[in-house]
Amino acid sequence: MNAAWSKSATQHIVFVVDDEPMLLELADAILTPQGYLVRTFRDAESALKEYPAVNPIVVITDYAMGRMNGMDLIRECRRLNPRQKMILLSGTVDEHIYADAAVKPDQFISKPYQISELAERVRSLIIG
């Protein structure tokens, strides 16, 4: 990892939303060493409650969760911030789930994913 990248990444908060605690721990273990401040949430409603005050650089969300799914969260985050960078994760659906949606994630990652893939996707969204 580039030292300049590591230093600049420490300013970035990443939200990770998944109803599986083990997957939240995994995402935290992947992204924290990259210099991100990771905030984890077990449901979309909790993430959305904190979202306006925190302004995360990237929101990573699972698709299938409780009352509010990942596409609902993406839509609400984009309503508050149209430029919000979003990654949708899923082990149950593919990109077709948002093919006809008005609001789409920036990236889609199928579960299970490789450690390097999550880190690289977040990095690519931030640096463009």
Instruction: Check which CATH number belongs to the domain holding 86 and give it.
Output: 3.40.50.2300
Domain that includes residue 79, residue range:
3-127
What pLDDT is attached to residue 47? Answer: 98
pTM of the model: 0.90
Contact residues for 39 (Cβ-Cβ < 8 A; gap 6+): 13, 14, 15, 16, 47, 50, 54, 56
pLDDT at 128: 78
Query: For all residues of the chain together, what is the average pLDDT?
Result: 91
Predicted confidence (pLDDT) at residue 9 exceeds the cutoff of 90? no
- Segment 64-92 shows an average pLDDT of 96
Assign 71 a pLDDT band (cuts: 50, 70, 90): very high
How many separate domains does the chain show? 1
